[in-house]
Structure formats: C-alpha cells, structure tokens
Amino acid sequence: MDIQEKFDRVLERVKDPESELPLANIGIVQKFRYNDEKKVIYVFTTFAAHRPSCMTCVGITMAIESTLQRLLEEALLAEFPGFSVEFVPA
C-alpha cells in the first residue's frame, strides 16, 4: 500500500462526531505532506474557514475541531508508527 492510500484510508476511517461523515467527505483536510527524514506528517486544514461568527458557536466549533484533530492524529499515528503530526492552517 502506498502513502497516498494510507492517507485516504485514514480520511475514510475518521468521522466527524456531529455528522458521522468521514473526513474525506467534509473537506476540512486539504492535503498531507510528510518528511520521512524528520518523521513528521503535516496536515493542512481549513478549520478556521468553517468557524461561525457567533461567539457561543465558536466555542462549540473549537471543541469539535479539537476532537477531530485528536481523532485524526490518533489514526495517523496508528497508520504511521514513529511519526509525529503537525496541523497547519491551509
């Protein structure tokens, strides 16, 4: 299995807790980059672009973002042992 297939599999497996849709379907992750020498996976996301203007809603959205990042990081670390994960705004 190549690297892209592994990334695709992670995006299909990790689901948004609110909608139950896989991350592959909701467009939050724009791309992955990895540095094999440094053992780092960079995840480019658009979380900020999806934040509402309502201050109360922002708090809820940020809690969901945190959960999604944790779930995505856990799935990536399981798929790529020995790597670390960094989230980058796209």
Determine the pLDDT at residue 50: 66
Contact between 44 and 29 under an 8 Å Cβ cutoff? The reply is yes
Domains observed in the chain: 3-89 (3.30.300.130)
Determine the pLDDT at residue 64: 87
* Alpha carbon distance 79, 9 (integer Å): 9
pLDDT (tens, 9 = 90+) of the chain, 90 residues, equals 799 999 999 999 999 988 999 999 998 999 999 999 999 999 999 977 667 778 888 788 888 899 999 999 999 999 999 999 999 998
pTM for the whole thing? 0.88
Half-sphere exposure of 48 (CA within 13 A, CB side): 5
